[in-house]
Amino acid sequence: MENERALLSYLKGKYSTEVWLQRDKISVKDALKVLLLDQLKASLGAESDSSSFHIRLTYTKASDEAQGASETTHESKRRKTDAENGSNCISENSFEKVYEPCIFSVHCNRMPIFFSGRYFKYSRNVSQSRWIIDDERMGEASVEEILGGNILPACLGDSYKFHAAGREDIDVRMLGSGRPFLIEVQNSRQLPSEQSLKEVEEKINKSEKKLVGVKDLKCIGSQCWAMMREGEAEKQKQYVALVWISRPLEEKDFNSISCLKELKILQKTPVRVLHRRSPLDREKIIHWMKVEKIKGHSHYFLLHLCTQAGTYIKEFVHGDLGRTTPSMGSILGCRAEIIQLDVTDVKMGDP
Q: Where in the sequence numbering do the catalytic residues fall?
A: 169
Kindly give, in sequence order, each residue whose CB lies less than 8 Å from that of residue 303, ignoring residues fewer than 6 positions away: 239, 240, 241, 243, 257, 289, 290, 291, 292, 317, 328
CB 244 within 8 A of CB 339: yes
Strand 236-245 to strand 281-293: parallel, antiparallel, or no bridges (unpaired)? unpaired
- Residue 98 has φ and ψ, to the nearest 5°, of -60, -40
Radius of gyration of the chain (CA): 33
| CA gap 272, 144 in Å, rounded | 23
| CA gap 124, 143 in Å, rounded | 12
Nearest alpha carbon to residue 127 among 166, 173, 177: 173
What one-character DSSP code corresponds to residue 68? H
Strand 126-127 to strand 236-245: parallel, antiparallel, or no bridges (unpaired)? unpaired
| CA gap 170, 272 in Å, rounded | 14
Bridge partner residues of 306 (DSSP): 238, 288
Full DSSP string of 150-191 = HHHHHHT-SEEEEEESS---TT-EEEEEEEEEEEEEES-SS-
Burial 277-313 (b: 16+ CB within 10 A, else e): eeeeeeebebbbbebeeeeeeeeebebebbbbbebbb
| CA gap 22, 36 in Å, rounded | 24
Nearest alpha carbon to residue 116 among 213, 257, 215: 215
| CA gap 164, 170 in Å, rounded | 14
